[in-house]
Chains A and B, each alone.
Chain A
């Protein structure tokens, strides 16, 4: 029985997060959480507030084969997260994990299927810092600038991705707009700073974009523009 009393509910949620409840109580709480907002917010409270205690466990190096085992177990799963659309096809983005040579292959494919009669003049492959995986491809030409996700990247709930350009020799980033939730942004007339040597960056912002004309959230993807 999930208690109505606030103190009882909070203590129970705390015991659940600590992990001291019996298995039947755990099952009862987990079944009730999706429909009991007070309970689930009490559980979140304890998960957040007790979390610094987890720092008392010193970090350690997992055995080297652990990631490969995780990857093969995921491959064996029949249900995967909601990855849909041609750009998310594993066969496509597995290529790009091979590195930038392969990312360039994706890019060529992208250009081949993009109905731009004059073709783009500049291209950029955007990826997370320190990461080989290409997540976005940008092309710029007479028809303007198009940025499209190739891995189905979506902004965190209640946030938006905003695209920025940092021109060569210019001081700060300039906004090119908020990327719609479908993962494709068209900018009809790109500013002159969108040219070879410029950098494109995507940051996480409030819905509707940065209120300050500068990135306020983390920069999560970057890529350099180069001429075709």
Chain B
């Protein structure tokens, strides 16, 4: 969700009667990528939520609920549970918006973090059934158009380059944990590997990933 696409470039103007009158174009060519992502409309909306605006929370829901629901479904595997996760997450966003600071990262990543953690709470409490040959599992090759879509996102190119530089077992562990919300034990079962090896792959994978991302 980039600034330019959202508010910065195309802005529809309306009269008091609600009818659109024309568009206006504002560029933001002087901003660095980091500045632009820190100032995305998501960050502005979170700041407004922190100020008590329920309209801003509703707008945030309109913009982000489909993406966040998808993340929750992927982890909890049941749409009804994912809907409850989404509810819990938005109540938490309402209560914790004041803790968000744009300097500390993008608003969309902050929202994702809240939804993932609520989804993980839901599955760690109740467990879930996942078939090991489920084609939607994150470590199984995804369609090329999906990869293209991922790489189009800001910051994604570096992450993919660095993930590709890891050992395959390290990479699969990280993707299964992040995308599918697998615990160490679930990864061990899925990869048919000892728990100790999985813990060490995750750890060493993270350290190698960090070195690569910082280089």
Binding site for B on A (CB under 8 A): 7, 10-11, 14-15, 17-20, 23, 40-41, 44-63, 66-67, 69-71, 73-74, 77, 79-84, 88, 90, 93, 97, 99-100, 103-104, 125, 127-133, 135, 151-159, 166, 173, 199, 201, 203-204, 211-212, 214-220, 222-224, 226
Nearest CB in chain A: distance from B92 CB, A: 10
Cα A115 to Cα B50 with chains together (Å): 30
Assuming A77-B95, A153-B51, is B69 touching A62 (CB within 8 A)? yes
Interface size on B, residues (CB 8 A): 107
Contact residue among A55, A63, A103, A154 (Cβ-Cβ distance under 8 Å from B83): A63
Contact A152 B51, beta carbon cutoff 8 Å: yes
Cα A217 to Cα B11 with chains together (Å): 13
The residue among B7, B90, B156 with the most chain A CB atoms within 10 A of its own CB is B7
A interface footprint on B16-53 (CB within 8 Å = 1, 0 otherwise): 11100100101111110001001111011011111111
Contact residue among A7, A17, A20, A156 (Cβ-Cβ distance under 8 Å from B113): A17
Contact B41 A218, beta carbon cutoff 8 Å: yes
Contact residue among B50, B70, B83, B116 (Cβ-Cβ distance under 8 Å from A58): B70
Which residues in A have their C-beta under 8 angstroms from that of B175? 53, 56
A interface footprint on B80-124 (CB within 8 Å = 1, 0 otherwise): 101100110011001101100111111011101100110010001
Binding site for A on B (CB under 8 A): 3-4, 6-8, 11-18, 21, 24, 26-31, 35, 38-41, 43-44, 46-59, 61, 65-67, 69-71, 73-75, 79-80, 82-83, 86-87, 90-91, 94-95, 97-98, 101-106, 108-110, 112-113, 116-117, 120, 124, 138, 142, 146, 149-150, 153, 155-156, 158-160, 174-175, 177-179, 181-184, 187, 202-203, 206-207, 209-210, 213
Nearest CB in chain A: distance from B74 CB, A: 4
Assuming A11-B203, A60-B79, A199-B24, is B71 touching A54 (CB within 8 A)? yes
Number of A-B contacts (CB under 8 A): 285
Known A60-B82, A218-B7; 11 more pairs at CB < 8 Å: A11-B206, A51-B106, A59-B69, A62-B86, A97-B55, A104-B16, A152-B51, A216-B31, A217-B28, A217-B39, A224-B14
Q: List 7 A-B contacts (CB under 8 A).
A: A15-B206, A50-B178, A53-B175, A58-B74, A88-B52, A97-B55, A219-B8
The residue among A60, A83, A135 with the most chain B CB atoms within 10 A of its own CB is A60
Contact A157 B79, beta carbon cutoff 8 Å: no
Which residues in A have their C-beta under 8 angstroms from that of B3? 217-218
Contact residue among B16, B80, B207 (Cβ-Cβ distance under 8 Å from A224): B16
Residue of A nearest to B3 (CB): A218
Contact B150 A56, beta carbon cutoff 8 Å: yes
Residue of A nearest to B90 (CB): A70
Residue of B nearest to A67 (CB): B61
Assuming A10-B207, A53-B159, A60-B73, is B94 touching A156 (CB within 8 A)? no
Cα A173 to Cα B28 with chains together (Å): 13
Cα A218 to Cα B155 with chains together (Å): 20
Contact residue among B38, B49, B94, B142 (Cβ-Cβ distance under 8 Å from A56): B142
Which residues in A have their C-beta under 8 angstroms from that of B51? 81-83, 88, 151-154
Contact A14 B54, beta carbon cutoff 8 Å: no
